[in-house]
Amino acid sequence: MSVLSSNATWLAIYLPRLNTDRLIRSGRAPEQRPLAIYAKEAGAFLLTGVDARASSLGLKLAMSLADARAMQPGLAAIEAEPEEDARALDHIAAWCERFTPLVVIDSPDGLFLDISGCAHLFGGEAALRDQIVTRLAAQGFAARAALAPTPGAAWALARYSRAMQASADAVQTLAPLPIEALRLEDASAALLRRLGLKTIGSLLTAPRSSFTARAGERAMLRLDQALGRAPEILSPRRPAPPVFALRRFLEPLFSVETILIATEHLCADVIEKLELRGVGARRAALHLFGVDGRDRVIEIGVSRPEREVKPLLRLFREKLGHAAENLDAEFGIEAARLDVVQIERIEGGARTLAAVEEADAGAEKIAALVDVLSARLGPKRVLRPKFSEVHAPEKAGAWSAALSRSAEKTPTGSPRDGVMRRPLTLFSRPQPIETLATVPDGPPIRFRWRRVLHEVARAEGPERISGDWLGGLPTRDYYRVEDKEGRRYWLYREGFYGESDEAPRWFVHGLFA
């Protein structure tokens, strides 16, 4: 589903003679004779379509077939074929997907195109509109197209206005148009006309409280949708891909090699968008739009989310190699679009700024990278982690300028005996706990942390960290303890029993696993 947004641009296409143009293109219409399409409605045969020649002779829609033949005895009348007309409209919609993936069919004779973010590829919105109308005319379809921020306004302009683009003031643009421009049913439009409301402007000034009937509510809803005051939900011909890239070519492409080059550029375009969203492609479809109006689709799928150009291009190369004889690009490919149909999140891993093959070479590359970044960003903005010689463990880690000599000291690795004496997770602020010990200065036999009671199965320590000479840090006795569930903690007691009137306090400072 596609929901309108306030910054969207919609192109409405109106095909006033779709049924007659289809017959003329297929060669079924007699030459040199006016053509009309008729259907049985309300027990009478009425005209549902007339070509340009019949229209110039005075024939109009909804005229009875008998009256039309009386006026023009040489009239060629063919019974309506709604299913064939719908199929032709769908083919035109498929052809329009070379301009945007969001194409909505507005039966029986119209289309909506959401061209937001696509018009710049075709020289602007007006140039895109003119190109579509000109190319449809070259295919034998008379068409009118209009641009507006909402589908309702674009629909009204395409059918009832000479202006093919809405002005900045939507009210001023729509006010002079007839009430039928609001996409109302015939009965609703007739009712409003009997009430004296013949234009959209007259409806704008009418009090809303009087529109309680169904026809009036429908008219006000359509008015609000055309002006962008109410949202409108449209269903596109195909679900919009989450990520896509579109390329047009100055000259048509004929060979598989040139198509692969274009595909490589499209893959690079979608990879950039995938990286911004933190996802990878699982299924993708390459649409090749031919000069003949046909759409060739090449689909691929991968077993895991992919976000690299080479793997995607390799799959497309395999597919195109097998489907080369079926492409039948006799007149060439004029545009291509790559749709990422299915995406999946990729868990981000650590990435290095410099490729490290050997220890010495890696150190040289990192040093060169640090020099470049420091020169570009400033020496105080590129930092390295370092250990500080302080008593408090939570203050041992610090940062210093990458170019300073103090930053050259690197943290030491694991001890030779393999016993981790410092936890993997160290809290920036120790968290208080309640403890029970067998002897005053011994390790706890149980402790309560975050309202959860832990029974101590093993304990090792103490490791005494004396206070600094300035008196800012009390003496601490650290213990490595393990509870009965196998979880290991780094606890410490601050102070000694009998040292003062206050009892020593216990804290948890880190977690081993």
Please check whether residue 247 is in contact with residue 262, taking contact to mean a CB–CB distance below 8 angstroms.
yes
Token output for 362: 């890696």
Q: What does the DSSP 8-state code read for residue 474?
A: -
- Reported for 227-230, long-range contacts at CB under 8 A and 24+ positions apart, including other chains, are 227/150, 227/152, 227/153, 227/170, 227/171, 227/174, 228/4, 228/6, 228/149, 228/150, 228/153, 228/170
The pLDDT, as a whole number, for residue 5 is 45
The angle at the Cα of 261, spanning 260 to 263, to the nearest 5 degrees, equals: 60
Q: What residue spans of 139-169 are helical by DSSP H?
A: 151-160
User: What is the distance between the alpha carbons of residues 203 and 207, in angstroms, rounded to a whole number?
Assistant: 8
Backbone angles phi and psi of 220, in degrees to 5? -70, -35
Q: Where are the beta strands (DSSP E) in 69-136?
A: 76-79, 103-106, 110-114
User: What is the distance between the alpha carbons of residues 147 and 157, in angstroms, rounded to a whole number?
Assistant: 8
The pLDDT, as a whole number, for residue 359 is 47
Q: Phi-psi category of 295—alpha, beta or left, where left has phi over 0 and alpha has psi -120 to 50?
A: beta
Please check whether residue 338 is in contact with residue 269, taking contact to mean a CB–CB distance below 8 angstroms.
yes
The pLDDT, as a whole number, for residue 186 is 83
Q: Which residue has the tokens 């050997």?
A: 358
The pLDDT, as a whole number, for residue 362 is 62
The pLDDT, as a whole number, for residue 187 is 82
Token output for 319: 């597919």
Q: Extract the residue ranges of the chain whose pLDDT is less than 70.
A: 1-7, 209-216, 322-328, 348-362, 405-420, 467-472, 498, 513
Token output for 37: 């399409």
Token output for 370: 């640090």
- Burial class from Cβ neighbours inside 10 Å (0-12, 13-18, 19+) for residue 473 reads middle
Nearest to 506 by CA among 410, 442, 420, 419: 442
